[in-house]
Every structure is written in C-alpha cells, then in structure tokens.
Structure 1
Amino acid sequence: MDNDVFGLLVDESADVSNKGQMAVVFHFFDKYGIVKERFIGIIHVKETSSLSLKYAIDYLFAKYGLSLKKLRGQGYDGASNIKGEFNGLRSLILKESSSAYYVHCFAHQLQLVVIAVAKKHFEVGEFFEMISVLLNDVGASCKRKDMIRENYRKIVEEGISNGEIKTGTGLNQEVSLQRPGTTRWGSHYKTLLRLVELFSYVVKVLEYIQDEGIDSSKRQQAYGILKYFHTFDFVFYLQLMLLVMGFIDNLSKALQRKDQDILNAISLVESTNNLLQKLRDDGWDALLAKVSSFCEQNYIGMLIMKEEFVDS
C-alpha cells in the first residue's frame, strides 16, 4: 500500500469450535492505479460487541504499523453491532478518522429490503414462518433429510431409465431443502425453488412425522404444516414470491459482478422496476395459471374466482 490511503472490509463469524473470528481485508489502489483487495488475517474475538471488534482492529493496525487516519472507507454487513449509528464499529472509527465513510453492499441491502418489505404483509409473513417451521421439522433430522433424498433419487433413476431425464456432467445432483438466511443473497429464492422441486417428497415426510413421530409437539407441527400446504393461500404466495424474488435474484447477481459499473447498475434497477410494474399491471392471469397448475399437480383445492367471496 506504500503508506497510502486504504479501505477496510470486515466480517465476523464463528468457526467450527464456535469461537468468534473476525476476517479483515484491505481495499486499496496500487501505484499503477489498479484496485487491489488483500486478505490480511483472522483475529479471534471473545465477543461481537462493537468495542471488542474495534479493539481487535486497533491491535491489527498496531501490529502492522498502520494508522486509522489513512482509512478512507469501511465496509461491513448489516449486523446491529456493526452498523449502529452511535455504538457501532463504524461510529467508533469515524471518531478517529472522519473520512472513513461507511458503504453498505448494495446487493446485500437489496436482499434485506426485499425480505423486510415482504414480511410487513401479514399473510406473506405467515407464509415464511411456516417455511421456517418446515425447515426446523425436516432439517433437524438426518433421517428425514435422507427420506427426501431417497425418494428424489428413485424418481430420478426412474426418469433416466424411461428416457424422460437427461444425463451428463453436473446433472441430477443430490438435493435437499436449504435453510434461508436474511443476509445471504438469494437464499429465500433458492429455498422456495427447492421446495417446489421436492414438494411431493416433503409432503410424504410430513405425513410420516404426523403418523409415526414420537414427539407429540412435532406431530402437531407436521399436521399444521400439511394443513397449510394444502390451501390455496399457500400456493398463491409461493408462486407470487417466486415471481418477485426471481426478478430480484437476477438483479442481485448482476450487481455482484466485478466488472459492473454504476451506469449499468442504474439501468438494471430501472429494468427490474419495469418488470415488477408489468407484473402489477398485466401479470394476474399468468400468475393464476401457475397457481392453478401447481394445485392440479399436487391435488390442492383451487378457488373458483367467480364465486362470491365471504370475509372470514
């Protein structure tokens, strides 16, 4: 870095032994004007408070003879101890270096915004809560995961023998339900895609838990999820979220490209906005067709739209 200005990128996570570790990366221009990112090291932190993280950074800077006065940028995720306006790490660093501006990753923000806005709608919030309960019920047991994999494997083998499924490098990989994370790009979208793909096998596992489970509370949960999964509301919100999050996922991936420039990024946001508006204006029939198809395939009752609606 030749004692020049630089930016600081930090992320914190626990290792396999459940010890808090902070990864530190420096972001800077070399003498030829080329942007460089260099991994500096991992520091063990006893707790993830902003003061503890700041102490770890001070230790690292002292070790390499660096000064916070040279810092011109901070980049972190959206954790509260990082981004807190008064107590967060960025505020502590800004007190020592007023030019160390904080920048939140735009693609990361997009994911957080979409999830937060979606969950403001009670029915959509309930939908994601039921998905979470499902993942806790099915994902908590290796036996239940294996049941899904085994059922899926049998169908794939049958499809290959009938010539209905193609074979080749990278095709027909083993699959399972993925647990979404609020700060993981596109993870909710991937979870919903996988749920659609494995829906019939998931239902079989839930029926097994309901009928054969030892824990009465788990049996009750399985019953509740099965009941919800066979409603029109579930299918409607599943297909709606897949549509909306599909648009957002494409934008998020584009924003993460290393060669992305700001003008193209603005254009991508505008085009995604136009797609969402088109969905509002003209997307009802296409959405309803997807809902109807899923209901028919999985023996779920479809609402007759011409019937009189009575608010419960």
Structure 2
Amino acid sequence: MPVTEPELDVKVVGKAPVAEGVVLLSLARPDGGPLPAWTPGAHLDLLLGPGLVRQYSLCGDPGDSSVFQVAVLREPGGRGGSAYVHDRLAEGDTIGVRGPRNRFGLGESSRYLFVAGGIGITPILPMVEEAARRGCDWRLVYGGRTRASMAFADRLARDHPGRVELCPQDETGLLDLDALLGDPRTDTLVYCCGPEPLLAAAQERCASWPKGALRVERFVPTARNGAGAAEGAEEGATAGTVERAFEVELALTGTTLTVPEGRSILEVVEEAGVAVLSSCREGTCGTCETAVLSGVPDHRDDLLTEEEREAGDVMFICVSRARSARLVLEL
C-alpha cells in the first residue's frame, strides 16, 4: 500500500543571482494556476532528475500563490543538486516539486529573535516578514562570510531599519552569541538556521532558556547512529539506545517485519514491497514522517521538538529506531 504525496510540474520563470554563489529560482505552474499554500519555514522538494531530489526552503511571499521562490547556494563539495541548479537549470525548463512541507513553523509569541548564518536566511526571511505583519517585537541578527555572500541583506536592512543587524565575518567577526543568548527570556522564541557550528553554539547557550524557546533547522544531519541518537531539533532531546533488532508491525497490511541492527525501518519496509515516500534518508527533510500507533520510538532525526519526541506519536523511519521490542506503524 504505497504512501504518496502529490507531485506538481512547475516551470522556471525566473533565475537570478542574489548574492555571491546564490541564485534565486522562481517557479510557477505552466498553466498559470495557483500553487499549494505554504507558511513561513516551509521547504519544497525539487525533483531535478532521476535520484536527484533536493529540499530548499521557500523564501518568497506566502500570500502570493502564483510563484514559489527558493534560493540555492552553490556547494562545491555537495552531492550535485546545487551544481545542477546553477549550471543546468534554465528559465523555461520544467521540473517536478513535492510539498510544501513545514517542520520549522513560526510559533505564536510576542517577541522573536531570529539568528541566521549564510544561506540559513532563506527560511528566516518569510518569518521576519510575518513577524512584522503581526506587529510583534522582533530582531534579526544575520551573519555571513562577506557582505557580498549574504543573500537579501540589503533588502532586509532597507525594509526593516533598526531591526536587522548585518554581521559580515570579515568586518565584524563571528556572531556574538553570548551577548545575544546569554540572558534567558521567558517571552521570546529564538529561531536559528545556518551552518552546524552556529546551531550547536546556539543550542549550548540556550540550555538555560525555557523549554522549547529555541527552534533550529538543519540542512545536514547531526551524527547520531551507532552509539545512539544525537541532539534533536531542540536542546534537551533524549539520547538514543543501544543498537539491536526489533519488530515493526505494519497496521494497514497486518505484516510484521524484523529490523536488524545496521538497517533502517525504511529499508526493511521497502524491501517488503511497501512504497513509502522518502527523500533525504538522513532525518532532515520530514518526507518519511510516519504515525506510531504503539511502541516507543528511538528518535534520531533532526526535526522533532522535545515535546514531539516525548509524545511519540510520529517518527521518521529513515533514521529512527525503537526503544521498545516492537513498534506498530500506520503503514
């Protein structure tokens, strides 16, 4: 019984540089019809070719249903997705997309602190606009290697004077996270996206903040397999268990499968002939989210909040395993 998500063909209606090594893609339906709705923090799967599926944060206007916009940084040491976008994708080309999907949504708060590093500005950009629209108190601190490498920097500073602090590393050094996050606040949500050292440093400094105050989004997975799960999407995520085999019952088919050491639930389920939608296979995109009907998951993703881990009613089967001897999944 396959689990599917609609795929949509879109046309590249714009491709323009927005910073050093960053291009902005504008995507629209060939027939001009409306695109699926999305909220700040959402990302989109771009189906660039056989086996070449990449996730990029939507950075346009959620109120404009005529176009999707994503900004893509060229990654010289990447796996080919960004090179394809930069070198081969052109205006007029048609590609497939899946989503949007949101695991980094903007919660309700009277005050926000946004911290972005490099291309991590992309999911933060529509959040900033939404916070401004709501009339909330907010501040953005945005760092990058150089001013020229920081996408949307001039626009943000122009549109939101007094609320945006630009910190090119070659001019100001690294972001001063001690000053930003040293004093815990009970009225503030902190949203952080960027390279792993920035996220790890933010998590360390927010350890004394109220539970759930820090929200981060990763573009690459943390190390978590083998010895156990690593930190999750928020500070305080539970450590994993020792590797061992366990059983998985697929509730929709009545099939019971054994997941051995060293193999993922996703691999075993696919081998049994059950098609499950997946993409990154690293616990970062959210595509393989699966409902848990019984049993205790061992969460090893980089998406769920601490509260969601404790609830245990969903898991990402590409990386997560079981604490209990058996799981019952809605598959």
- State the TM-score bracket (shorter-chain normalisation): under 0.3
Bigger Rg, structure 1 or 2: 1
TM-score (norm 1): 0.27
- Higher relative helix content: 1
Kindly indicate whether structure 1 or structure 2 has the higher relative contact order, using CA contacts under 8 Å at least 6 residues apart.
2
TM-score (norm 2): 0.26
- Higher relative strand content: 2
